[in-house]
Structure 1
């Protein structure tokens, strides 16, 4: 066993570099999965950080293309800059922009991409800008977004500075709108948006599949009586890496691989999570266990099982004996022998001192004994007498117990006495319905315990229990 352990450790160190490489690849794959999941909800933020790669990814993987309405609108806006603001913009272009602005507000092309909120931001920004530029009184300010766009795209209002405002504040919002293609099916369309993430993911899946088969082959050969199926189940947590769907489950193998390869030490986090969960569950679990035990005792009282167990002398006949040995009798014999032959000889001086003290205390209460203690030599004689009494009493008691234990007749008499006490107890307790009264009182008492225990448990501060657990854990860590 020691040789196998020492051999496994160098093997683990030898292949640690491979484990770390595969863990890093799994982590990269999971990061790409998270990016793919978050692309649509966070596309606007990705456009601000890296507009070029974000657009390329959307076109290639998500089937995203510019919305025709907003794209035509932005191309018309570009004509404004091309015509030259200093020389005046073509009135046809401005008229087209006003018409397109009204159409966009009425038709809302942002709704297809679930970006109606973006259109509302565009409208609010344009209204605020017009009111700021015109500096109108509050009762005369522009409230209609259509009117604001009409004013903005007018020959009298449009200037280079105002066009720069549109290019800087409004145009990026229009660019976030898009149209996403739908996956084709055998008959028409499937209604599912295009997602070609498999193009990126297939390489990782094939790599992890080859690694999975290689690990299964190695495990099946290294361990006796282990077939391929057992080896695959050994690495069950790698299965999400092989699935082209439910990619979020890959968090499980990624975390396990990172921890196993020691790429990142996750043991402190795992320990804290485990202790936190156990501390939260411990109170509820303890409550369930204790209440369950009390319920079982109450059921025994209600059904009469406890009464039959105590009063029925034939209950022992239904007891299932596994080895034909009376374990309780054997245990009592072993304990008695240990006490008589091992324990008592070692504590004999203490027992004799206790007996001497008891004898002297009893004699000192006698008036005659107290008077004769004043006679010279009597005090020493009484001390020797008490010592002799203690020694003889100890020897007599110990030898008497040994004789009773070793004597078959004495043991039989002892068993007979115990049986007589038991039978007499069962007869007397059934008189005057005492057993029914005891069962009723026990039932009420157990119910009170349940109520009071649950009330104290509800008042218990779980956070304080967690804090105590943390302190205990810190102390144990320091001790090691």
Structure 2
């Protein structure tokens, strides 16, 4: 059935409107995330926002003024419950009065009393330390150090008294002293503040009110719309399942751990196509997966080696070997896996005897010829056999063995019940004699020690190799294999048969 044009246009417009809505919410969530980051860092960086000065090196008196930034502390201090400290505000106001009195061409008569009061306020500030309430006790130490350096005394109180004395002001102009106070002392004094405490005993913070009104209400409405869209797309989806599918949006509604909003904001920006986080995600996931895969493979390899060592140390080797006999092992196997050893013998026997052994004829001749010469030399009174005669004798012996091997391979390849019975009897006898041989002497214990030692060396060498390689080498190898210019190595040429 052909779909009408008006229906397709309406759906296209509806889809476009949802895209615009999703992008708007993503941008609004980004604004909220920036505000959250600013709110979290406001109290620790309040001195910066107040003075708008940047100190690159704390130990060096180098100050970079940033006066282009507005002073936002009067606007944002009420959000965090911050108020000016009474003592420091009184100190600053009294200094303004002192400055007005001393800035006149002729000092006012009451300037001496103002200077004494300023010294008393300085001593009270040093004694009571109003900076401790805001956790900035180090600021008071900076003020004391600067007073000592300016006056050249060891006591900060005496330094303040000396800097405001008649003798000092006669030797130094007030313009010079006012510059020192306004640039070195008063900005530090202004950083002190008082923060109220709520009923729970925690510092006041009214951020949640603005966050709830301006952002969280919008996020809750958007999540509800997304749930409705999911239920419209999948009618059988319950409200709980629809909410769980949008679990990544839940940090947007949490009044605590607000830094977790980074995940849903990045997800929304990526989903709407405003940013592309795929390269960063690929790099992070590749590193994490490589690390986890390496750790997991190490654990699995160690468990495998340890399990093999425990199996090797078991004293039940003879019993387990005897259990491989046909009359004991067949009943324990499913019908499709009965007599697996017999099937292997029927498959590998003709292949080894009919194909592999004839190709080893030259090597067998050389080996038997050398063994024959050495054996006759060790016999007392034995004659020295020429090499040509030894090769001739061994050639006939090898030809006889190879011919017998081919004949045996042909016989094994044929289906014969008697042959199967003989092979089965041979296998049973082999396992029985092997178990009996292991029970005699210390062969079993010695074999177990040697095998466990070999596995221990493999385990140590593997761990040392992995530690030497590390994640960096694995990541470089993976980059080489997955890079666009990487070429697949050609398989080696198969030699002619």
TM-score by length of 2: 0.71
Question: What residue number does 1:470 align with?
Answer: 476
* Residue 44 of structure 1, CA deviation: 0.8
Encode CA deviations 1:369-395: one digit per residue, 9 max, x unaligned. Answer: x9xxxxxxxxxxxxxxx9xxxxx9999
Residues 41 and 237 of structure 1: CA distance in aligned 2, closer, same or farther (over 3 Å): same
CA–CA distance in structure 1, aligned partners of residues 119 and 363 of structure 2: 116
RMSD across aligned C-alpha pairs, in angstroms?
Answer: 4.3
Encode CA deviations 1:255-292: one digit per residue, 9 max, x unaligned. Answer: 33333334332222223223333454555444332222
- Is the aligned partner of 1:24 residue 2:30? no
Three-state SS of the structure 1 residue aligned to 2:256 is coil
Question: What residue number does 1:99 align with?
Answer: 120
Does the CA-based 8 Å contact 2:84-2:194 persist in structure 1?
yes
* Residue 427 of structure 1, CA deviation: 3.0
- Is the aligned partner of 1:216 residue 2:227? yes
The count of corresponding residues between Structure 1 and Structure 2 is: 421
Does the CA-based 8 Å contact 2:143-2:188 persist in structure 1?
yes
Residues 152 and 256 of structure 1: CA distance in aligned 2, closer, same or farther (over 3 Å): same
Task: Give the alignment partner of residue 207 of structure 2, picking from 192, 197, 212.
Answer: 197
* Residue 356 of structure 1, CA deviation: 11
Question: Which consecutive residues of structure 1, in runs of 5 or more, have no partner in the other structure?
Answer: 1-9, 131-140, 371-385, 387-391
Q: Which moved more, 1:237-246 or 1:206-215?
A: 206-215
Question: What residue number does 2:46 align with?
Answer: 43
Three-state SS of the structure 1 residue aligned to 2:154 is coil
Task: Give the alignment partner of residue 426 of structure 2, picking from 396, 407, 417.
Answer: 417
Asked which structure has the greater RCO (Cα within 8 Å, sep 6+), the reply is: 1
Task: Give the alignment partner of residue 257 of structure 1, picking from 249, 259, 268.
Answer: 268
- Is the aligned partner of 1:461 residue 2:479? no
Question: What residue number does 1:427 align with?
Answer: 436
Question: What residue number does 1:135 align with?
Answer: none
Question: What residue number does 1:88 align with?
Answer: 107
Three-state SS of the structure 1 residue aligned to 2:34 is helix
Encode CA deviations 1:406-450: one digit per residue, 9 max, x unaligned. Answer: 444444443333333223322333233533432344334444444
CA–CA distance in structure 2, aligned partners of residues 46 and 204 of structure 1: 25
* Residue 330 of structure 1, CA deviation: 11
- Is the aligned partner of 1:277 residue 2:288? yes
Q: Which moved more, 1:208-217 or 1:418-427?
A: 418-427
Residues 307 and 254 of structure 1: CA distance in aligned 2, closer, same or farther (over 3 Å): farther
CA–CA distance in structure 2, aligned partners of residues 415 and 462 of structure 1: 49
Does the CA-based 8 Å contact 1:64-1:180 persist in structure 2?
yes
CA–CA distance in structure 1, aligned partners of residues 236 and 342 of structure 2: 42
Does the CA-based 8 Å contact 2:318-2:438 persist in structure 1?
no
Task: Give the alignment partner of residue 140 of structure 2, picking from 119, 122, 129.
Answer: 119
CA–CA distance in structure 1, aligned partners of residues 19 and 473 of structure 2: 37
* Residue 307 of structure 1, CA deviation: 5.1
Does the CA-based 8 Å contact 1:88-1:155 persist in structure 2?
no
* Residue 397 of structure 1, CA deviation: 7.8
* Residue 40 of structure 1, CA deviation: 1.2
Question: Which consecutive residues of structure 2, in runs of 5 or more, have no partner in the other structure?
Answer: 1-11, 53-68, 369-386, 393-398, 487-497
* Residue 366 of structure 1, CA deviation: 7.8
